[in-house]
Structure 1
Amino acid sequence: TASSACLQSSNGPVKKSMREKAVERRNVNKEHNSNFKAGYIPIDEDRLHKTGLRGRKGSLAICVIVLLFTLAVINLLITLVIWAVIRIGPNGCDSLEFHESGLLRFKQVSDMGVIHPLYKSTVGGRRNENLVITGNNQPIVFQQGTTKLSVEKNKTSITSDIGMRFFDPRTQNILFSTDYENHEFHLPNGVKTLNVQKASTERITSNATSDLNIKVDGRAIVRGNEGVFIMGKTIEFHMGGNMELKAESSIILNGTVVVSTARLPTSSSGDPPGSDDWVRYKLCMCADGTLFKVQVTSHNMGCQVSDNPCGNPY
């Protein structure tokens, strides 16, 4: 090298003169004084340690920030809706209030939509105010188990497979109940019509000043294990089909009995008895009101038969 004290050759080291050494020392000092990059090593920028979030980490950070911003906006909208609907203010809710007993009270007209009541839930109004429940062109249905309450435009119906009971929550007095085993069945005051599919009771009565009307759309069957007794000032049966009376021993009709024959089947006068497959009977009555039948075997046959239940022919 140029900075070596002696030169090497094939014949050995060569000694420098004093002048050559001074010139070499001057050049070395000059190079050292003009070298401002001493101690620095040039390195590519891609190999340096980079700070911050770059690449996938940066994309993930942007997604997290966008998600948090979206949740914040949704939370703000929900808060505004709650504030507008429930009307929460410094004094509490203007539209509803909660009580320590679990009661939720609405203070204004509310649209509750779909209600899923909990166990033994209660819906009621204030003591001196009416509870108005309306639906948008469809019935309102409250259902708990097998019991269902339907509020429609012209009627309110309650159906249950296990029975029902209406009572005053303040006095606990039972106003109406279908429990026939513990007490007698009574309709509440003001109720004049009872619509049931099947009823089992010992007695059906009406007030002394009102009529008892039993109407059915199809077929009505009244039976009793110990007999059926129908009593009243006037008893009328209006039927669109047939009327059938069955008894194991006898049927007793007391009072004036009128049977309209306008709808009873009749045969033409020219057909002799027994000319077809019809078996005809004549309805007869004893003096005490006992009814019995006599088979018709000839024209103008009366009720004077020997085996009648009256004792003497009548």
Structure 2
Amino acid sequence: MASSRDSQVTPESGMATMSFRDKTLLKRNINRHHNNNMSAGYVPVHEESLHKTGLRGRKTYAFWTLVGLLSLMAIANMVLTCIIFKVLRIWPRMESFEILPEQSIIKFHGKTDLDQILKQDGKIEGFKGEPIKITGQSGPVNIDLLDANGNLQRKLKMQDNETHFQGIDSFEVHDPVSGKVIFSTASPNFRLPKGVHNINVVTAKTNRITSPFNKTLTLKSDSFTRLKGNEGTKVEGKEILWSADQFIFLRSVNGSIIFNSTKGVYIDVKNIPSVTHSSDKQLVGQFKICVCMPEGKLFKVPVSPDQDSHLACNINITYPHVDPCK
């Protein structure tokens, strides 16, 4: 009677393809192993008839090639990330600015180059004790307001020698320490802060410039000073002194130039240059200043070379229709 540990030999083990002699030898060997107590229950296994698992041959090369490519991509990604961190200075915060989401604040710590900035609350603030500087490279700096209809309206334009506001209710400049209003368009009296005695500007557009009581107001320029009024210019003072290295021009386009003083207006005629005679003892074409009496109105008349300059002011007698004193 066969033991329960006897192995059942099936056609799948390869006997279906073996010859009759090989089958007889195999059966003899199996019986011999079963009869031996030391090897009972064991069947010899032919390694070539076993099913092999895992990667073999070309599949092995393809697998390791894929692993190598993935490793190279991971290394390249790590290097690129390190470069981005180095360029943008992304550590706990960036070098130029820091984002505080809890307070909805972005802090700029250095020079930052930005094309456009959109602020929902419209506030741009600096650090205490440090000025905030906004510059434009080869162009102006514009501040626009987004209205309820989604349209942009230009409110502020800053460029060389000009700061232009438009479409605003008021504009105020505050002292950063005390919070006191230094300048406001609601009360457009610009007073120099304490300790400031001079202000240097290229162009100033205003309707009035005054100095404190019993203080001197001085307008000075290294090249030239020009006072211009669209509807006239009026200068008042206890004493008005005009001084220039070369020329002083007084010009009125549509009206007259009026000098008025309580104690009279004096002209130092000794220092007024006069035209000299030419080599042939004749006067070159020139003008002569005349005065109307008793009005005190000054006017000029042309003097031709063949005319006596002492009689030039009598033009009102010769040509009464062009009398400047009327």
Do Structure 1 and Structure 2 share a fold, with TM-score over 0.5? Answer: yes
Greater shift after overlay, 27-36 or 210-219? 27-36
In 2: Cα distance, 1:172 partner to 1:81 partner: 36
Q: Kindly tell me: are residues 85 and 221 of structure 1, through their superposed partners in 2, closer, same or farther at Cα, counting changes over 3 Å?
A: closer
Residue 85 (structure 1) shift: 8.1
Contact 1:250 1:290 in 2 (8 A): no
Whether 1:267 and 2:276 are equivalent positions in the alignment is yes
Q: Kindly tell me: are residues 170 and 302 of structure 1, through their superposed partners in 2, closer, same or farther at Cα, counting changes over 3 Å?
A: same
Once the two structures are superposed, what CA deviation does each residue of 1:236-270 show, in whole Å capped at 9, x if it has no partner?
22343451322544322123333567574612266
Residue 27 (structure 1) shift: 9.6
Match of 1:64 among 61, 70, 75: 70
In 1: Cα distance, 2:22 partner to 2:300 partner: 158
Structure 2 unaligned spans of 5+: 1-19, 31-42, 143-155
Residue 175 (structure 1) shift: 2.4
One-letter amino acid of the counterpart of residue 131, structure 1: E
Whether 1:290 and 2:290 are equivalent positions in the alignment is no
Matched residue, 1:223 = 229
Once the two structures are superposed, what CA deviation does each residue of 1:212-254 show, in whole Å capped at 9, x if it has no partner?
33345456251342x3221112222234345132254432212
In 2: Cα distance, 1:196 partner to 1:26 partner: 121
Matched residue, 2:9 = none
Whether 1:281 and 2:288 are equivalent positions in the alignment is yes
Matched residue, 1:113 = 111
In 2: Cα distance, 1:96 partner to 1:28 partner: 85
Aligned length: 250
Contact 1:176 1:188 in 2 (8 A): no
In 2: Cα distance, 1:266 partner to 1:194 partner: 38
- Aligned-pair identity in percent equals 17
In 1: Cα distance, 2:209 partner to 2:22 partner: 137
Match of 2:190 among 181, 186, 190: 186
Q: Kindly tell me: are residues 61 and 43 of structure 1, through their superposed partners in 2, closer, same or farther at Cα, counting changes over 3 Å?
A: same
Whether 1:258 and 2:267 are equivalent positions in the alignment is yes
Matched residue, 2:310 = 300
Q: Report 1:77-88 matches (<5 A).
A: 78=85, 82=91
In 2: Cα distance, 1:30 partner to 1:249 partner: 141
Once the two structures are superposed, what CA deviation does each residue of 1:155-201 show, in whole Å capped at 9, x if it has no partner?
xx984233664236899864225x5xx543424424531524362x3
Whether 1:207 and 2:212 are equivalent positions in the alignment is yes
Match of 1:176 among 177, 180, 183: 183
SS at match of 2:65: helix
Contact 1:287 1:310 in 2 (8 A): no
| Greater helix fraction, Structure 1 or Structure 2 | 2
Q: TM-score, normalised by structure 1?
A: 0.56
Contact 1:165 1:176 in 2 (8 A): yes
Whether 1:33 and 2:35 are equivalent positions in the alignment is no
Q: Kindly tell me: are residues 250 and 84 of structure 1, through their superposed partners in 2, closer, same or farther at Cα, counting changes over 3 Å?
A: closer
Q: TM-score, normalised by structure 2?
A: 0.54
Once the two structures are superposed, what CA deviation does each residue of 1:72-104 show, in whole Å capped at 9, x if it has no partner?
566679499725988xxxxxxxx9794744345
